[in-house]
Amino acid sequence: MKRRYKRDYVILESKDSSFRLKEKTSPKAFAKIEMKEDKANLMLYVENVKYIKQGYRVVIIEDDLNVKDIGRVLVNENGKGEFKISFNEENLDIKAIALTHDKKIPLIGFRGRKLQDYEDIIFAKENNIKDDTIENKVKFQMKEEKIEDNIHKLEIDNDLSKENNIKDNLSNPNLEIDEEDVEIKDEDIKQELSREENEEVIILDIDEKKEKKKKEKKEEDCSREEKREEINKEKLEEEDILRKYTEEKIYFVPRKLKKILNKYKEIKPFMEDIEDTRWWKIDISPMSICAYIMPYLGYINYINCTLYSDITSLSYKYRHYIFGIKYSEEGKRKYYIYGIPGRKNEQPDEGNTGFCHFIPCDNKYKTYGYWVCFIDCKSRLIAMAEE
């Protein structure tokens, strides 16, 4: 019988900036879940978190939204800490992992989709007490409203009885009319007229707001058309440049990809680089691991259809990876390249996920370098690059 082995990773993001160690650096955490036969191991690594003597509580949320407090992680003065725990369970169904302290959540990460109202789930006991108090307040308010309604009804009945008395007096010529009752009626009529005028003013205001919204929509539509025209102009300009400089090699980057790559540094990682290739260094972050668009690592996992790969663990170990574009002799895009840092004996997944070429960073020892994977620009599939 083959032994069952599964491995998964969860990146914890910062949710409370007051727990960061330094102003410019945000707290980070990385959880690794391994399942072997009848046991499950959870390892948590924390960085850049504010030092607290008693440490932070580690909480997990299972698939049935059951919350478990599994222990405490202690952090040193440099903001680093490690936590390990084993479970005697074949399948550990974890939906989320969080660090808590004093009714706050400094870090939390989700395995799969993000949970809504995760704070209410984690602090469920306290919320139950609060809900009871809120229900009591609502009941008390309902009682007060009923009392006020009864008082209001009594006042209306009294007013109707007064009006009937006045009508009876007017029908009888021998009886005297009270001037106070007549004045009260006049005041009521004035109030009703003022109310009708106010309602007409409110209706006019609503019509003006509707007209303003229509004008704003028209302006937005015009601005969208202008943006489209600008994009078309940019495309035409790029085509004109390509026509003018066909003899020279101009290494263009797609517009959507260029916006992302502008955030990262362009580098030359090798002593003897691949010809006609540009490289960028991508620092590790939750986006660079989880996002399923180029140049992020999730794109590679999507192509390989692998959930448990050495790609994420090695890139997280060295805190970066590289992304490159190789061009043909005519200056057109030929391959997209992902480079995972490591040593020659650290080949990701033994080459099963496309990382078959090792390029060293130095010519002398050739021990440290990058395992690279080539992706065809047209088919968007893993390809064997020309050596």
- Three-state secondary-structure class, residue 93: coil
Reported as a pLDDT band with limits 50, 70 and 90, residue 147 is: low
Which tokens hold the place of 197? 């005028």
- Note the pLDDT tens digit of each residue in 149-201: 555 555 555 555 555 554 455 445 454 444 444 455 556 655 655 665 566 55
CA geometry: angle 207, 213, 215, nearest 5 deg:
105
What pLDDT, on the 0 to 100 scale, is given for residue 144? 56
pLDDT at 252 over 60: yes
**How high does pLDDT run on average in the chain?**
78
Percent of the chain past pLDDT 90, that is, above it, reads 24
- Three-state secondary-structure class, residue 240: helix
Q: How far apart are CA 313 and CA 308, in angstroms?
A: 10
Reported as a pLDDT band with limits 50, 70 and 90, residue 266 is: very high
Q: What is the mean pLDDT of residues 28-38?
A: 84
What pLDDT, on the 0 to 100 scale, is given for residue 346? 92
Question: How many CA atoms, within 13 angstroms, populate the side-chain half-sphere of residue 298?
Answer: 11
Question: Shortest CA distance to 123 belongs to which of 153, 139, 101?
Answer: 101
Reported as a pLDDT band with limits 50, 70 and 90, residue 33 is: confident
Do the beta carbons of residue 374 and residue 332 sit within 8 Å?
no
As beta bridge partners, residue 277 has 326
How many angstroms separate the first and last alpha carbons of the chain? 41
- Among 59-63, 250-254, 334-338, the range scoring the smallest mean pLDDT is 250-254
Q: What is the mean pLDDT of residues 73-86?
A: 90
Which tokens hold the place of 54? 């008693």
Spatial neighbors of 288 by CB under 8 A, at least 6 apart, are: 282, 296, 297, 321
- Note the pLDDT tens digit of each residue in 344-378: 999 998 888 889 999 998 777 778 999 999 999 98
Q: What is the mean pLDDT of residues 245-261?
A: 75
Residue 233 is which amino acid? K
pLDDT at 299 over 70: yes
What pLDDT, on the 0 to 100 scale, is given for residue 134? 44
Give the length of the chain. 387
pLDDT at 240 over 70: no
For residue 3, what is the DSSP state? P
What pLDDT, on the 0 to 100 scale, is given for residue 131? 47
pLDDT at 227 over 70: yes
Do the beta carbons of residue 301 and residue 313 sit within 8 Å?
no
